[in-house]
Amino acid sequence: MNALKFFIGYIKHFLSAISIHNIHSPFVFQILTGMQLSDEDSDRIANIEKLRKGLLRDNSEIIFFEMGAGSKISSADQKESGKPGIKRMMRDIIKSSVKPELGVILYKLCRYFKPEVVVELGTSAGISTAFLAMADPGGKIFTIENNPSSADAAEKNFRELGISNIEQIRGTFDNELPSLLGKLRKIDFIFIDGNHRKDPLLKYFELCLEKSHPSTVFIFDDIRWSDDMLSGWESVRNHERVSVTLDLFQAGIAFLVTGIAKQHYRLRGI
């Protein structure tokens, strides 16, 4: 998506977006007003942000294999195609992590829904995984990442934050997601943040739907990464099993709750 189109989309979104107080859906209103943070939550979030701050100053180099459409640098599937990895500094890897605002949204949603089983596609250095895991110490987070050095960095970061409810899976989404799903009875919460293209997005979505239930929550990051991704998000919105969607411009949230009419909200933030 070119910069001008993105900017126009941004203006349009915020002109038509509504605030929490204009939401008429009791389902959505209850969620958004129920997501309060305690002082303990704020301390945990501050710890993740402190770690991020340090990593943003980390000039150490790692070998990075560009996967899918994960970065504007290259869209080639280097690792799968046997192309060599490129050297990237940790501070640049960290820049592709969820922004603090989306991290807090992930945290709040996990705190509210208390999912037992969370699946994340795209660990990178583990910033978003940390938000998911620290919000919900009783839940188990399965996170998939194909870049060995990113996965190593994530492992180190989880240790530093004292997190123990994460199972890291190393490999591609295409290989690892079906075998993970084969082992899981259900999924309660899914965060898709890698391989930002429509067809893979819809493939992972359909696969996860097989283990989903009416209370499962889906979050898709970077829905406006490209026209192709936006089209993928629109297909999710229109899917017959999706009843409620929240468009936060950067990310989209889809609920499968049954017994209510299809609803779509553009929000300024939550």
Ligand X SMILES: C[S@@+](CC[C@H](N)C(=O)[O-])C[C@H]1O[C@@H](n2cnc3c(N)ncnc32)[C@H](O)[C@@H]1O
Residue identified by tokens 């004292």 is: 162
**Nearest CB to ligand X, comparing residues 175 and 258:** 175
Binding segment (CB under 6 A) for ligand X, from list 20-28, 31-39, 91-99, 155-163: 91-99
Q: Enumerate residues 6+ apart whose C-beta is below 8 A from 63.
A: 85, 86, 87, 149
Smallest separation, CB 145 to ligand X (Å): 5
Residue nearest to ligand X (CB): 194
Q: How many chain residues interact with ligand X (CB under 6 A)?
A: 20
Is residue 150 close enough to count as binding ligand X by CB under 6 A? yes
- Choosing from 28, 48, 135, 145, the residue that interacts with ligand X (CB under 6 A) is 145
Is residue 70 close enough to count as binding ligand X by CB under 6 A? yes
Is residue 232 close enough to count as binding ligand X by CB under 6 A? no
* Cα atoms in the 13 Å half-sphere on the side-chain side of 114: 2
**Nearest CB to ligand X, comparing residues 67 and 236:** 67
Pair 188, 215: CB distance under 8 Å: yes
- The C-alpha atoms of residue 247 and residue 269 are separated, in whole angstroms, by 9
Pair 246, 32: CB distance under 8 Å: no
Is residue 243 close enough to count as binding ligand X by CB under 6 A? no
Is residue 149 close enough to count as binding ligand X by CB under 6 A? no
Residue 81, CA distances (Å) to 75, 85, 177, 188, 215 in order: 12, 11, 20, 33, 38
- Contact set with ligand X (CB under 6 A): 67-68, 70, 96-98, 122, 124, 127-128, 144-147, 150, 172-173, 193-195
